[in-house]
Amino acid sequence: MHNRVKINTDAALFSDINRFGHAQVVRDHNGELVEAMSRCHQGTISPEAAEAMGIREALSWVKQKQKQVIETDCLVVVQWIRSSYATLSYVGRLVEDCRQLLMDLQGKNVMLRFVKRSANSVAHYLASYSSSLADRRWEKESVHQEFLSILCNDLK
């Protein structure tokens, strides 16, 4: 979409080392990498909570931007955010945070949508490696060429 930035987000659980991670890949309307981020956290949470955390991180990133599309392959979390789903659980609080961020961004033309895993492969790839690439942020100018080619080849 012209003049839009697209953010793909995904999460991964690493139960063998008691960690979970999420990643976001930001691309411009030409599919060029703008920025990529990954985070890893200690602990065990549900897959939905990890996905909601990734969406919340993407929504926080777009607060200063306009015309954003956020895509995730977790349909249930997208449905919860769009519904009036309410619970006092940890995932419920994350969903409410996402809802609030979307409300705060109402005039900025931000969309949240579900996509198939195949359309979210770059974020999935980065999330899968978030335990070893934890708390990292890459901008196009500072990305190692080999890593950039992996991200770009995954887009095609």
Q: What are phi and psi of 22, to 5 degrees?
A: -145, 160
Residue 69 has pLDDT above 50, yes or no: yes
Residue spans per domain, the chain: 5-155
Query: What sign does the CA torsion over 30, 33, 34, 36 have?
Result: positive
Tens digit of each residue's pLDDT (9 = 90 or more) over 87-132? 889 999 999 999 999 988 887 778 899 999 888 888 888 888 888 8
Reported pTM: 0.82
State how far the Cα of 29 lies from the Cα of 14, in Å rounded to an integer: 33
State how far the Cα of 152 lies from the Cα of 156, in Å rounded to an integer: 7
State how far the Cα of 40 lies from the Cα of 46, in Å rounded to an integer: 14
Tens digit of each residue's pLDDT (9 = 90 or more) over 36-56? 899 999 999 999 999 999 999
State how far the Cα of 156 lies from the Cα of 153, in Å rounded to an integer: 6
Fold for the domain defined by 5-155: Nucleotidyltransferase; domain 5 (3.30.420)
Residue 147 has pLDDT above 80, yes or no: no
122: tokens are 């770059």
Which strand ranges, in their side-by-side order, compose the sheet holding 110-114?
110-114, 68-72, 5-14, 19-27, 33-42, 136-139
